[in-house]
Structure 1
Amino acid sequence: MGRFSLLFARLVLIGCLIAPATAQAATLVYAGTLIADPSKAARGPSTVVVEGGRIEAVEDGFRSPGEGDEVIDLRDRTILPGLIDAHVHLTGDHDDPFYQGFIDTDEYAVAVGLKNAELTLEAGFTTVRDLGGAPEAVFAVGRAIEEEMHPGPRLVAAGTAVSIIGGHGDMTGVRPEIVELGGDNTCTGPVQCAERVREFSRAGADVIKIAATGGVLSQQGRGLGAHFTPEEMEAIVATARSLGLKVAAHAHGARGVEAAVRAGVSSIEHGTFIDDAGIEAMRQRGSYYVPTLLAFRGIEEQLGTGIYTPVVEKKIRQVISHTGAGLRAAYAAGVPIAYGTDAGVFAHGRNGEEAAMMVELSGLPPRAVLESATVNAADLLGIADETGTIEPGKAADLIAVDGDPMEDITALERIRFVMARGRAHDLPSAAE
């Protein structure tokens, strides 16, 4: 090769090295109306630019596609952030009899969880917090979703709840050897309770759940009052914080609610009989209220069907008359609200019905409901940097609905499009 040819070859090589890279193809999602952040005003016609599973840009109007760009045309629909349900149980079904957990294996629970995860995603929920299930099963479900082996929402999971011996979350009324097979999630005294938290953290828990009071669906018949001592709950919360974990408290009775809040839990789940003292404690400490109104509808629907034992039916009749009262008082006092349904107590996939109940039974305006299911829930789960709003840098979690959910909250029951972490999911009801 001559000197001139060698020089030319080198110049060509240098040019290739410094030439700008070919622009990556993007997905352009056209929105007729865009609710990028439910706490702010909606935008008109917009384009959400998605690249590599994340939101690259949000632009007014409809951007013309470049070479290789994909267009998802939703100009006749409203786009908003993917919804977040802060209280689900993916590995169980609502019509399982109470003894089902003594029969099914963890392997079968994984299959149930994956089935329910897809139903939840199709309902418009791109993130959920699972607050009760066999740890091996629910963590496996979350891993399968994260590794894109199966469609489903982003999963923040607790595994098993920390409980007192003989209380809600413990096995009651069965042979001792069956109790032993169920593992040990109970504790007595601050030292043992701290140890349980460390064990659950080691097992992979993203959040710690405690049964601060009695529960409705457990077989223990000693009411819905407080369970743990204040010292035990303080040990649970302090240990969880030292490990970077939040604590969610299942709580029905008023004194159990107040004690859990004063111990420092991040959220109260249910809060059925919350009173002024509990609400004031939540307001002062910034604890979230997760209402789970749909759970009350679900259990009422199955009264008298044989699904529940007499001891459980008695507790159901005790709580259903209070549906929505605690949420109404908490919202009026300025307590932050995070959307949560207790899916698994009713059929998975109905999660969106909670929104209308929050409006009808507790008087929340639709905007507040949307905030509870997006920005608020993301804050509670500690993932506000990742999701909850539609803005550059965040995961591309988007849904589309017919109508305006700021005016008609039942629009959340008419999901027409779902994108989770940049992947569009085919909906079985997409055909109109």
Structure 2
Amino acid sequence: MATPSGTQAVEALVIHAGRLIAVPGEAPRGPSTIVVQGGRIVEILPGFIERSGMRPLDLKDRTLLPGLIDTHVHFSFSPETKLWSAAIDTPEDVALFAFSNAKKTLEAGFTTVRDVGSDGYSIHALRDAIDDGIVTGPRIFLSGTSLSIVGGHGDMSGLNRQATEALYPYDYTGACTGAVECALRVREAAKYGADLIKITSTGGIMSEQARGLGQHLTDDELTSIVSTAHSLGLKVAAHAHGEAGVAASVRAGVDSIEHGTWLDADTAKLMATRGTWLVPTLGLLDGRKDESASPAVRAKMAEARSVAGRNIRLAVEHKVKFAFGTDAGVSPHGENARQFRLMVEQGPMSPAAALRSATVDAAALLGQSEHLGTIAVGKYADMIAVAGDPLRDITILEHVSTVIKDGRVILHAPADGR
């Protein structure tokens, strides 16, 4: 994207911030003025400077920081979505449901997301409508349907054969067998507008099957997917829980490991050497109730909980690059910021590092550092404000009072309530 969406209707803003975290990881600034025109930041000045003819936004009692980025969401479903929903929901239903989830996410302060696995093309339509300024939502980078083995995580299971074939035909699911067919699936995804490729290298915790969490895609299939995607300029995000599948994905050259639940020290060292990102999704099991899950899913949830946080501790220890991602859709939409506290508690990570993972680092994973991740002249005017200091108390990010995206004020709660 070369320009912010719908900039022709964006009014000029002059923002007075009491405290400015322009680049998470660097020292905050004191009272500052940020001038926004055409959806981009055009000036950053010390103190409170007036600009005639511009809309003032008084954040003198707030901390201003870059818009947050969640690199692992699924807008087309939620924890309440039923296995048989495709028998009831139309693509239009899914699009409207996804829009409602996108709205919750934006209002929670997440101005950009990476949607890594949504069936059909409803999310494509939502992304394009947001980019065109038709509806308001976070900036979306998407993979579309995940690529998987037949019967693996991402390929629907849990229904009888007749229902499965009717609702989830083979060419709809992203399933592939062998290097040639897997390369074809990548090319199809690129043809129909994917921004990246998402694969499920291992079994999944929430899949309605008891086939474990080990490696699914073969080494040859993984290599084919990665080489094809990279030749088309697309990055590859690999859902991977089990140790062998995580390691195989890293060896194949994927760009990010999603989850990495059973990450081990040797693979963490390899990730650090190769520059592979970790998106730890610590919110995956946060707040999930085992009682409503099937026995197979309950068993996998228990396994995952037994090692919760080990992945991020290894990432911190071995200096693996990591980006913020919640798995919202499996966890509730709009509560994305809950993961910050988990990162600080389980890392342990500093609040500054956790915040950086959802701004500077997430933008780098997306290949969007030129436009996103910091408050700097020339970048998109994506900013949030909070009451307090998130570098001392990261949970403050769960209560965002102002959201600005592309220079538009999406949400603003003044201190006096007016």
Query: Aligning the two structures, in what range does the TM-score lie when normalised by the shorter sequence?
Result: over 0.9
Name the structure 2 match of 1:341: 326
Relative distance call for 1:71 and 1:290 in structure 2 (3 A) is same
Name the structure 2 match of 1:176: 161
Name the structure 2 match of 1:231: 220
TM-score norm. by structure 2 comes to 0.94
> What displacement does 1:356 show?
0.6
> What displacement does 1:337 show?
1.0
Equivalent runs, 1:238-317 vs 2, <5 Å: 238-299=227-288, 302-304=289-291, 306=292, 308-317=293-302
Relative distance call for 1:111 and 1:283 in structure 2 (3 A) is same
Native 8 Å contact 2:401 2:411 kept in 1: no
Task: Report SS of the residue matched to 1:55.
Answer: strand
> What displacement does 1:177 show?
4.1
1:48 aligns with 2:34: yes
Name the structure 1 match of 2:6: none
Equivalent runs, 1:416-427 vs 2, <5 Å: 416-426=401-411
| Counterpart residue identity of residue 214, structure 2 | G
1:190 counterpart (171, 179, 186): 179
- CA distance in 2: counterparts of 1:430 and 1:33, whole angstroms: 15
Task: Report SS of the residue matched to 1:280.
Answer: helix
Name the structure 2 match of 1:3: none
| Counterpart residue identity of residue 223, structure 2 | E
Equivalent runs, 1:23-422 vs 2, <5 Å: 26-66=12-52, 68-180=53-165, 181-182=167-168, 183-299=172-288, 302-304=289-291, 306=292, 308-422=293-407
Per-residue CA deviations over 1:115-161 (Å, capped at 9, x if unaligned) read 01110001000000001112311111111211222221100011110
- CA distance in 2: counterparts of 1:319 and 1:346, whole angstroms: 15
Native 8 Å contact 2:381 2:407 kept in 1: yes
- CA distance in 2: counterparts of 1:261 and 1:293, whole angstroms: 20
| Counterpart residue identity of residue 394, structure 1 | K
| Counterpart residue identity of residue 358, structure 1 | M
Relative distance call for 1:155 and 1:347 in structure 2 (3 A) is same
> What displacement does 1:427 show?
5.3
> What displacement does 1:430 show?
8.2
Relative distance call for 1:429 and 1:315 in structure 2 (3 A) is farther
Deviates more, 1:413-422 or 1:99-108: 99-108
> What displacement does 1:47 show?
0.7
> What displacement does 1:199 show?
0.6
RMSD: 1.6
Task: State percent identity of aligned pairs.
Answer: 48
Task: Report SS of the residue matched to 1:29.
Answer: strand
- CA distance in 2: counterparts of 1:321 and 1:430, whole angstroms: 43
- Structure 1: runs of 5+ lacking an equivalent: 1-23
Native 8 Å contact 2:11 2:407 kept in 1: no
- CA distance in 2: counterparts of 1:221 and 1:143, whole angstroms: 38
- CA distance in 1: counterparts of 2:399 and 2:176, whole angstroms: 44
Per-residue CA deviations over 1:298-347 (Å, capped at 9, x if unaligned) read 32xx221x2x2222112111111222111111111100110000001121
Native 8 Å contact 1:87 1:130 kept in 2: yes
> What displacement does 1:65 show?
2.0
- CA distance in 2: counterparts of 1:135 and 1:158, whole angstroms: 11
- Structure 2: runs of 5+ lacking an equivalent: 1-9
Per-residue CA deviations over 1:77-128 (Å, capped at 9, x if unaligned) read 0000000000001111111222223432221110111001110001000000
| Counterpart residue identity of residue 303, structure 1 | D
- CA distance in 2: counterparts of 1:345 and 1:214, whole angstroms: 15
| Counterpart residue identity of residue 361, structure 1 | Q
- CA distance in 2: counterparts of 1:229 and 1:134, whole angstroms: 23
Name which one, 1 or 2, has greater alpha-carbon Rg: 1
Native 8 Å contact 2:145 2:198 kept in 1: yes
- CA distance in 2: counterparts of 1:70 and 1:45, whole angstroms: 18
| Counterpart residue identity of residue 96, structure 2 | A
- CA distance in 2: counterparts of 1:237 and 1:120, whole angstroms: 30
Task: Report SS of the residue matched to 1:415.
Answer: coil
Per-residue CA deviations over 1:150-176 (Å, capped at 9, x if unaligned) read 221100011110000111111224333
Deviates more, 1:167-176 or 1:254-263: 167-176
TM-score norm. by structure 1 comes to 0.91
Native 8 Å contact 1:298 1:345 kept in 2: no
Q: Would you say how many aligned residue pairs link Structure 1 and Structure 2?
A: 404
| Counterpart residue identity of residue 34, structure 1 | L
Task: Report SS of the residue matched to 1:135.
Answer: coil
- CA distance in 1: counterparts of 2:403 and 2:59, whole angstroms: 11
Task: Report SS of the residue matched to 2:199.
Answer: strand
Native 8 Å contact 1:417 1:430 kept in 2: no
- CA distance in 1: counterparts of 2:390 and 2:133, whole angstroms: 30
Native 8 Å contact 1:397 1:420 kept in 2: yes
Task: Report SS of the residue matched to 2:326.
Answer: coil
- CA distance in 2: counterparts of 1:49 and 1:429, whole angstroms: 19
